Amino acid sequence: MNYFEDEKIDEVERKNSAFAVVRALREATTIARRRTQPTTYEQTLNMLYDLDEELYSKVVNLIEVKNESDTVKYYKEKASVVDDPNSLFTTTPESLLEKDIDEHQEWLKTTDDASKLKFLRTQLYRLKAARKFFSPKRLSEHKILEHDFFIAKRHPFVQKQIYEDEQVKDYNLDGERMLRLRLLHPDRDEHILGADLIYEIFDLVNERVRFVHLQYKTWDKGVLYLKQGNIKDQLNKMQSNLCSVGFCKSEIGNNHSDLYRMPFCCGFLRPTEKLQMVQKKLKSSGIHLPICEVMKNIGDDDKITKSNSKGRNISSTVFSELFIENIIGSRWHSMNQLEEYYEKRDIESLYNNIRIHAQEFPILSDEDYARK
């Protein structure tokens, strides 16, 4: 996938989409892990690395602000001159830095007085900062989910292929559950505008499933212009593929339940402020706006704003909790119904964005199998 490196596409747009992928994956793992604290960005990036190494490096290149300090530039230049192509060993900026850091540390050992050797100390600080620039993240640390685990018996549905050329990764979750993740991208890059997340929770004993589809967009100071790119088309598509086919309804056809819960809408728009970097920490806020509601209130000026979505949205902090508890999202549907839906609606081309498709399955015991 070349989209993230395609210079014909506006860099800001590519950055926003890269950030949207991270947010989608972050939300998926937050739901899966059942923790009150959302997954951190560092952990999310580790997951992305695990899912797709190539995509990871492209995304990180776009969203991480890497300021090349003068020290970094100096060592890059120095390495380019000093490196001998005929030598067995390559001289890298890191190896040169390492050598100088050791040297400075030795010099500083000659005194315990912090007020002395001030300039050497400052230089050591700069060298260490430059080393950080080069050293890759230690990705094996902070692993949040384990994959490659053994399950004796798998329900036949778990093995099913959904997309052509799909790559699947399975993760072990607490509470005898597993998470199946697929990361997909459209063939035609020019349509990409954000990212999508499909999250499905399966009940294999009763052969049923409930789900939610999220569409991540970037808004500018609380305004999303629907005329921009094909946002409106994508939202219309989402509504016609979810709300209009009756997925956002109860079994008897209401959109509300007799039980205590939110209305049955299974598609949400996720507008979020532009990528913000505060000292290398990504911050994101944002809301969940039900698609059934979005299309009702866009008004003549074709925009979604913080004010016209007031009182009709769910904050990011409570959404996953409500979805886990079955208070928000779709009702339970039979697994057969879902399969038919995949086929009929051509799930492959549903929204034309980079997509994370997450499926959460219980790991069935022999007893469960016997009961079936």
Q: Which is nearer to Zn ion, 79 or 262 (CB)?
A: 262
CB of 26 to Zn ion, least distance (A): 23
- Are 82 and 90 within 8 A, CB to CB? no
Neighbouring residues of 187: CB distance < 8 A, sequence distance ≥ 6: none
Q: Which is nearer to Zn ion, 45 or 298 (CB)?
A: 298
Rounded Cα gap, residues 161 and 166, in angstroms = 8
CB of 351 to Zn ion, least distance (A): 15
SS3 336: helix
Subset of 184-243 contacting Zn ion (CB under 5 A): 243
Tokens read off for 25:
């994956």
Pick the binder of Zn ion from 32, 235, 265, 338 (CB under 5 A): 265
CB of 267 to Zn ion, least distance (A): 5
For Zn ion (CB under 5 A), the number of binding residues is: 5
Per DSSP, 240 falls in state I
Q: Which is nearer to Zn ion, 173 or 292 (CB)?
A: 292
Instruction: Tell me which stretch binds Zn ion (CB under 5 A): 115-123, 219-227, 245-253, 364-372.
Output: 245-253
Rounded Cα gap, residues 195 and 351, in angstroms = 9
- Are 291 and 232 within 8 A, CB to CB? no
Q: Which is nearer to Zn ion, 55 or 265 (CB)?
A: 265
Phi then psi for residue 116, to 5 deg, are -90, 165
Q: Which is nearer to Zn ion, 186 or 267 (CB)?
A: 267
Per DSSP, 347 falls in state G
Tokens read off for 204:
């294999």
Instruction: Tell me which stretch binds Zn ion (CB under 5 A): 58-66, 191-199, 261-269, 295-303.
Output: 261-269
Q: Which is nearer to Zn ion, 97 or 291 (CB)?
A: 291
Q: Does 292 bind Zn ion (CB under 5 A)?
A: yes
Rounded Cα gap, residues 89 and 283, in angstroms = 41
Binding positions for Zn ion, rule: CB under 5 A: 243, 248, 265, 291-292
